[in-house]
Amino acid sequence: MEAAPEITQRPAQLYAGISAWVTMATIGSVADRIPEIFGWLGAHGIAPAGPPFFRYHIIDMERQLRVEAGVPVASAIDDDGDVRAGTLPDGRFAVMTHTGAPDTLVTATAELLDWAAARGLAWDVSQTDEGESWGCRLEFYLTNPAEQPDVSKWQTQLAFRLAD
């Protein structure tokens, strides 16, 4: 089940994140580090300023992806080991909320991409030797699995930045 896509203006957002190069087979290894980021924030007395997210920097589905797990924060942090400071850029985003298990996100993503294409919208993306380089392509995880164990009820907000 999808909420209808819409275009929204989003402000810049500071965050703490862990990034890595992965394959489609190993992508979960970065998503599995979200609890580590929450632990790091707690150990440093920093409250999250929003839901955790997954950011796609470089996408080449056949070879590798540069991805990042992150948690928004209210003020700048210092890099510390694998936890790095980052900023999600501001801009116009195509946004859609998806309800369903994580393995249904591929279909939801295709629906958002198709929705934008049907409207002649262009993404903030460029082709590089490494793959598609996205200005900001996000999945925000709105459901806490500890509070809702039924994966079919999990909500994920897709937010992809549009070209200027």
- Domain assignments of the chain as residue spans, ordered by start: 6-161
User: Which pLDDT value is given to residue 2?
Assistant: 66
Enumerate the β-bridge partners of residue 88. Answer: 13
Predicted confidence (pLDDT) per residue in 5-55, tens digit: 999 999 999 999 999 999 989 988 998 999 999 999 999 999 999 999 999
Band of residue 3 on the pLDDT scale cut at 50, 70, 90: confident
Give CA–CA dist 128/132, Å, rounded. Answer: 6
Kindly report the CATH number that applies to the domain delimited by 6-161: 3.20.80.10
The token duo for 113 is 């991409």
C-alpha distances in angstroms, 162 versus 7, 37, 86, 131, 139?
9, 28, 20, 18, 15
Nearest Cα to 14, choosing from 64, 98, 60, 79?
79
Give CA–CA dist 87/107, Å, rounded. Answer: 28
Residue range 134-145: average pLDDT? Answer: 96
Q: Is the pLDDT assigned to residue 1 strictly greater than 80?
A: no
Give CA–CA dist 65/59, Å, rounded. Answer: 5
Predicted confidence (pLDDT) per residue in 79-135, tens digit: 999 999 999 999 999 999 999 999 999 999 999 999 999 999 999 999 999 999 999
Give CA–CA dist 106/56, Å, rounded. Answer: 13
